[in-house]
Amino acid sequence: MPKNEKLYSFLIDNTWRLTEEWYDSIDKSTASGVYASTNPKIIATLKKQNHDFHLHCCEVFIKEEEEFLKDFEEWVVRVAQDEEHLNTPLTGVMQEFFRVEKQYRALIKEFVALHKGDYSEEEIDLWFETVNDTFSKLISWFVEEHQKFAQQKLNAQQEMIDELSSPVIALNDHMGLLPLIGIIDTTRAKLIVENTLEQCTEKEISHLLIDLSGVLIIDTMVAQQIFQLIETLGLIGVKATLSGIRPEIAQTAVQLGLSFENVAIKSNLAQAISSK
């Protein structure tokens, strides 16, 4: 049997031992995220993930690097995207990688002690170097996948927030309602324009009621954006009715020279709906 095969066999025979010793070594009182969980199902999943790691990691001593990393990819991506690990500080995850790396070093020393004189110092040093290089690559790879997925998740949440911040609600007879609430800054105003045009087209809205009664503050740039929205809606065949315009908003629009000539205006939303 090749010398690396003997080391591989020794490591693979001790994978569950590595897992149990690793989990027992975690200080649960100071750990965070998934490592501090008391849920039996989460603990069982965590141990399985750790054991699967060992099944792949041991193969570094018997496989070419390209094949080794290819076979490891599924584990790295799956665990990096795991909800429990996403909710765990990345520093905590890296700390556990380093803890496991120490386990490998200790186990290799144990193997060498059991086979005294069978291996040269150069061979042993190469094994430790392999462990060091492998964990460096795996940690960097995991962090990259973890951050990439976390960013994708954050972007998806932001898109949902943006969409919910300017929802076009379909009423009846191709009529829709856009209730605007809170403070509208320039960035949000642009998103409102984009989302409203898209949603009106998707929902086949031909008449849109835009209610401003919930808008607390509006500046000149935002007022301009709203009127541009009304003009653009007209270009795609959507008639707009404004309701709930506060005096300060009306004053801002007048100061800007924005015309109400082609805009139907109602004092409140109830009037806007009942008049149709």
Query: Which is nearest to 258 in space by CA: 226, 213, 211?
Result: 226
Domain ranges for the chain: 3-161, 169-274
What does the pLDDT look like over 73-114, one tens digit per residue?
999 999 999 999 988 999 999 999 999 999 999 999 999 999
Residue 121 has what pLDDT? 94
How many angstroms separate the CA atoms of 104 and 224, rounded? Answer: 64
What does the pLDDT look like over 235-269, one tens digit per residue?
888 888 888 877 777 777 777 776 666 677 887 77
For range 27-43, the mean pLDDT? 93
Q: Does the pLDDT of residue 12 top 70, yes or no? A: yes
CATH number 3.40.1390.30 is the correct assignment for the domain at 169-274: no
Q: 242: buried, middle or exposed (CB in 10 Å: 19+, 13-18, 0-12)? A: buried
- Give yes or no for a contact between 164 and 99, defined as CB atoms under 8 angstroms apart: no
Length of the chain: 276
CB-side neighbour CA atoms (13 Å) of 63: 15
Instruction: Kindly report the number of other CB atoms within 10 A of residue 191's CB atom.
Output: 17
Q: Contacts for 233-236 with beta carbons within 8 Å, 24 or more apart?
A: 233/196, 233/197, 233/200, 233/208, 234/262, 236/197, 236/200, 236/201
Residue 1 has what pLDDT? 45
What does the pLDDT look like over 49-66, one tens digit per residue?
999 999 999 999 999 999
With cut-offs at 50, 70 and 90, classify the pLDDT of residue 188.
confident
Q: Which residues pair with 178 in a beta bridge?
A: 210
CATH architecture of 3-161: Orthogonal Bundle (1.10)
Tell me the angle at which helices 121-164 and 186-202 cross, rounded to the nearest 10 degrees.
Answer: 70
Pair of tokens at residue 31? 């750990």
Residue type, 44: A
pTM of the model: 0.62
The C-alpha angle with vertex 113 and arms to 112 and 116, in degrees rounded to 5, equals 80
Q: Does the pLDDT of residue 233 top 70, yes or no? A: yes
